[in-house]
């Protein structure tokens, strides 16, 4: 508490009180405020915005949003269904494959389960697969594997490894050590130790994370199609390119509904398992 | 722990017979679904292209090395734009998400009948559309450039920040709020003296966390024309100028690493 006047000589009515600050150091606080001010000045000074074009946007926005009433689910029905199914296959296959690949990497990346060289190697794999945005990886996989859902699946698998292996490794490191020691003291081999000491302890979290990642992978599958990696994103991009806003609106609505349903379902499943 | 008895005495087993059957059934179903998905994907795949991937990769690698270092001097401006898209987008999102979060939190909302569902709807719809899709949409509406990028990042981040912030508000300690209320403070004073100090740390943490994510996202917005270094990237890829692509990827890598380090540092200082 910063009592500005703390000697008892002042009349209580003249005492002031201020709530504690987030950054207690006044000098640092002023420095950060000044830096933010300077930055904003620099940013707005160099921001290259074509306000005339922005002003023209209003009728376009109206046209776009009028596409939502009513959205056109039917005239590109086939393409939408195709893209949607592709997204779902990609999501399921990539999550399964990614989790499968993640498990050995996670065990290797847990300090209490692996020697230092393996730990370093596995941590490097995790860091590398997390650095670049999924879309950038998708660009390269499309280049390597050709257009279509295979490139998408490969992208999502890699992204899953970066996410799942890291969180699972942290979970393995956070287990209750006494149980692990008890199993070890029975003379269990390393594999038996993994099966009876680690597996039961991380299982609920592992399932929860897999379900969570399934949900994320569907969201991502909706965008990597924009660079050619299959799925509903490709259909959406085509609709935008053709200025078919009513179809684009329909696709967006479908994505929103599925994402919300997936989020709700994954939340419910995670609450039950954990 | 289920036990079964045979001639050598009681045997410990992990599961009951029923659990065994259920578990096998679950695995079989899962395997069938995933196998089916692989099959359907492979139907749509031209396998010759997949098998030629190692050759392609080697070819691509050869074209990327050595990177065209002279190009890096032209990248400062796009990098500054990228940084601005992420930072201004996060700032704009925070300004909007604070009132939304206060409306969405059960303990601070002005009305549970109107404001709360409305705020939750804003949060949910913002969260379920990726910033790249927002960008696709905004490029059509406001035209290509940085402005579309800033708005795309902001629109996506409102939901993220709003959700985390309203959850933080719902988890605050009640006694301080009651104490402030008991002094006869107005509802505005209760908010500023009872609630805000308690969620300030969470707020700062959330903003830095989202900023870090947004740096990563803003590197790709240029692919659909929304400004930033993605513009240069897509131009270089379209020109098959792989030695430039290599420089751009390195620049992105550097930016992402620095922002991640900075965000981890700030969050470490906050907690």
Q: What is the pLDDT of residue A1?
A: 45
8 Å CB contact between A221 and A156: yes
User: Which has more confidence, B1 or B117?
Assistant: B117
The answer to whether the CB atoms of A219 and B253 lie below 8 A apart is: no
> Residues of A numbered 165-204 whose beta carbons fall under 8 angstroms of chain B's beta carbons: which are they?
none
Q: How many angstroms separate the CA atoms of B96 and A5, rounded?
A: 37
Mean of pLDDT values over B187-215: 90
The answer to whether the CB atoms of A144 and B223 lie below 8 A apart is: no
Q: How many angstroms separate the CA atoms of A135 and B131, rounded?
A: 12
The least confident of A15-19, A172-176, A230-234, B180-184 is A15-19
The least confident of B16-25, B90-99, B172-181 is B16-25
The answer to whether the CB atoms of A150 and B142 lie below 8 A apart is: no
Q: What is the pLDDT of residue A129?
A: 85
Q: What is the torsional sign of CA B42, B48, B51, B55? A: negative
Query: Is some CB atom of chain A closer than 8 A to the CB atom of B269?
Result: no
Phi-psi region of B130 (alpha: psi -120 to 50; beta: other; left: phi over 0): beta
Q: How many angstroms separate the CA atoms of B32 and B27, rounded?
A: 9
Q: How many angstroms separate the CA atoms of A203 and A209, rounded?
A: 10
Q: Is residue B15 pLDDT above 80, yes or no? A: no
8 Å CB contact between A126 and A166: yes
The least confident of A21-30, A130-139, B83-92, B223-232 is A21-30
> Which of A21, A156, A43 lies closest to A102, judged by CA?
A156
Give the rounded percent of residues in chain B with a pLDDT score beyond 90: 42
Q: Element (H or E) spanning A18, and its range?
A: strand A17-18
A18 pLDDT tier (thresholds 50, 70, 90): confident
pLDDT digits (tens, 9 = 90+) for B138-168: 888 888 889 999 999 999 999 999 999 999 9
Angle at B87 between CA B83 and CA B93, to 5 degrees: 145
Q: How many angstroms separate the CA atoms of B213 and B256, rounded?
A: 9
Q: What is the pLDDT of residue A2?
A: 46
Task: Give which of A137, A150, A235 to mutate to test B binding, by max B Cβ within 10 Å.
Answer: A150
Q: What is the torsional sign of CA A128, A131, A136, A138? A: positive
The answer to whether the CB atoms of B220 and A135 lie below 8 A apart is: yes
Give bridge partners of residue B4 from the DSSP assignment. Answer: B11
pTM (2 d.p.): 0.83
Closest-CA distance of chain B to residue A8, Å: 22
Using CA atoms, how far residue B240 sits from A139, A155, B237, in Å, is: 13, 21, 5
Mean of pLDDT values over B125-135: 87
Three-class SS state of A10: coil
Q: Is residue A21 pLDDT above 80, yes or no? A: no
> Residues of A numbered 74-103 whose beta carbons fall under 8 angstroms of chain B's beta carbons: which are they?
85-86, 88-90, 92-93, 96-97
Query: Is some CB atom of chain A closer than 8 A to the CB atom of B88?
Result: yes
Closest-CA distance of chain A to residue B88, Å: 8
8 Å CB contact between A172 and A126: no
8 Å CB contact between A249 and A68: yes
Q: What is the pLDDT of residue A154?
A: 93
Give the rounded percent of residues in chain B with a pLDDT score beyond 70: 99
Q: What residues does each domain of chain A span? A: 2-46, 77-273
Q: How many angstroms separate the CA atoms of B163 and B119, rounded?
A: 10
Smallest Cβ distance to A46: which of B46, B80, B219?
B80
The answer to whether the CB atoms of A255 and B128 lie below 8 A apart is: yes
pLDDT digits (tens, 9 = 90+) for A58-103: 888 887 788 777 888 888 888 899 889 999 999 999 999 999 999 9
Counting DSSP H helices and E strands in chain B, the numbers are 12, 2
User: Which has more confidence, A67 or A108?
Assistant: A108
Q: Is residue B193 pLDDT above 60, yes or no? A: yes
Three-class SS state of B67: coil
Q: How many angstroms separate the CA atoms of B174 and A121, rounded?
A: 47
Q: Is residue B129 pLDDT above 60, yes or no? A: yes
Three-class SS state of B173: coil
Three-class SS state of B5: strand
Give bridge partners of residue A41 from the DSSP assignment. Answer: none
Give bridge partners of residue A18 from the DSSP assignment. Answer: A2
Judging contacts by C-beta atoms under 8 Å, the chain A residues touching residue B60 are: 140, 143-144
Mean of pLDDT values over B215-240: 90
> Residues of B numbered 66-85 whose beta carbons fall under 8 angstroms of chain A's beta carbons: which are they?
80-81, 84
The least confident of A194-203, B41-50, B207-216, B245-254 is B41-50
Give bridge partners of residue A3 from the DSSP assignment. Answer: A17
Q: Is residue B269 pLDDT above 70, yes or no? A: yes
Exposed (0-12), middle (13-18) or buried (19+): which is A254, by Cβ within 10 Å?
buried
Q: How many angstroms separate the CA atoms of A187 and B37, rounded?
A: 42
Judging contacts by C-beta atoms under 8 Å, the chain A residues touching residue B56 are: 143-144
Longest dimension (CA), chain B: 81
Tokens of B88: 């201004």
Q: What is the torsional sign of CA A165, A166, A171, A177? A: positive
Q: What is the pLDDT of residue B79?
A: 93
Q: Which domains does chain B have, with CATH numbers?
A: 3-62 (no CATH), 71-270 (1.10.3720.10)
Task: Give which of B51, B142, B228, B258 to mutate to test A binding, by max A Cβ within 10 Å.
Answer: B142
Q: Is residue B7 pLDDT above 70, yes or no? A: yes
Which H, E and C letters describe B13-37, residue by residue?
CCCCHHHHHHHHHHHHHHHHHHHHH
Q: What is the pLDDT of residue B2?
A: 67
Mean of pLDDT values over A212-217: 90
Task: Give which of A42, A92, A157 to mutate to test B binding, by max B Cβ within 10 Å.
Answer: A92
Q: Is residue A11 pLDDT above 70, yes or no? A: no
Closest-CA distance of chain B to residue A48, Å: 7
> Residues of B numbered 206-235 whose beta carbons fall under 8 angstroms of chain A's beta carbons: which are they?
216-217, 219-220, 223-224, 233
> Which of B121, B107, B74 lies closest to A260, judged by CA?
B121
CB pairs under 8 A between A and B: 144
Q: How many angstroms separate the CA atoms of B227 and B225, rounded?
A: 6
The least confident of A26-30, A155-159, B151-155 is A26-30
Mean of pLDDT values over B66-83: 89
> Which of B263, B258, B247, B255 lies closest to B218, judged by CA?
B255
CATH architecture of the domain with residue range A77-273: Orthogonal Bundle (1.10)
């Amino acid at each position: 508490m910063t009592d500005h006047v703390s000697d008892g000589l002042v009349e209580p009515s003249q005492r002031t009180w201020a709530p504690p600050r987030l950054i207690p150091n006044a000098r640092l606080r002023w420095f950060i405020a000044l830096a933010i001010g300077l930055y904003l000045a620099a940013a707005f000074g160099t921001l290259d915005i074509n306000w005339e074009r922005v002003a023209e946007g209003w009728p376009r926005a109206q046209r776009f949003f009028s596409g939502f009433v009513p959205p056109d689910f039917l005239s590109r029905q086939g393409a939408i269904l195709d893209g949607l199914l592709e997204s779902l296959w990609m999501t399921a296959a990539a999550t399964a494959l990614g989790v499968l690949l993640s498990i050995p990497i996670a065990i290797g990346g847990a300090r209490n389960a692996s020697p230092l060289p393996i730990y370093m190697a596995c941590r490097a794999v995790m860091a590398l697969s997390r650095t670049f945005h999924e879309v950038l990886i998708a660009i390269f996989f499309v280049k390597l594997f050709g257009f279509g859902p295979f490139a998408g699946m490969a992208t999502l698998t890699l992204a899953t490894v970066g996410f799942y292996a890291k969180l699972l490794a942290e979970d393995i490191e956070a287990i209750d050590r006494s149980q692990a020691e008890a199993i070890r003291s029975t003379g269990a081999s390393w594999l038996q130790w993994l099966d009876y000491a680690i597996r039961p302890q991380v299982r609920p979290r592992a399932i929860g994370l897999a379900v969570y990642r399934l949900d994320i992978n569907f969201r991502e599958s909706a965008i990597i199609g924009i660079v050619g990696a299959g799925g509903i994103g490709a259909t959406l991009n085509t609709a935008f390119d053709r200025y078919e806003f009513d179809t684009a609106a329909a696709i967006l609505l479908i994505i929103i509904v599925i994402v919300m349903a997936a989020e709700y379902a994954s939340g419910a499943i995670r609450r039950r398992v954990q | 722990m289920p036990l079964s008895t045979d001639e050598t005495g009681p045997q410990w087993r992990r599961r009951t017979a029923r659990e065994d059957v259920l578990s096998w059934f679950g695995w079989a179903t899962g395997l069938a679904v995933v196998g089916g998905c692989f099959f359907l994907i492979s139907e749509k795949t031209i396998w010759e292209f997949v098998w030629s991937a190692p050759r392609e990769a080697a070819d691509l690698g050869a074209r990327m090395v050595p990177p065209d270092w002279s190009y890096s001097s032209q990248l400062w401006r796009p990098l500054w734009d990228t940084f601005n898209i992420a930072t201004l987008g996060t700032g704009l999102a925070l300004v909007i998400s604070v009132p939304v979060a206060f409306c969405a939190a059960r303990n601070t909302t002005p009305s549970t009948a109107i404001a709360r569902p409305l705020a939750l709807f804003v949060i949910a719809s913002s969260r379920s559309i990726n910033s790249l899709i927002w960008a696709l949409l905004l490029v059509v509406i406001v035209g290509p450039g940085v402005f579309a990028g800033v708005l795309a990042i902001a629109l996506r981040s409102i939901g993220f920040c709003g959700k985390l912030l309203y959850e933080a508000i719902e988890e605050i300690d009640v006694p301080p709020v009651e104490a402030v209320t008991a002094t006869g403070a107005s509802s505005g004073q209760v908010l500023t003296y009872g609630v805000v100090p308690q969620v300030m740390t969470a707020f700062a943490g959330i903003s830095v966390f989202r900023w870090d994510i947004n740096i990563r996202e803003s590197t790709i917005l240029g692919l659909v024309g929304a400004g930033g270094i993605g513009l240069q990237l897509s131009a270089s890829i379209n020109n098959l100028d792989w030695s430039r692509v290599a420089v751009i990827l390195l620049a992105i890598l550097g930016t992402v690493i620095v922002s991640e380090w900075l965000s981890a540092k700030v969050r470490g200082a906050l907690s």
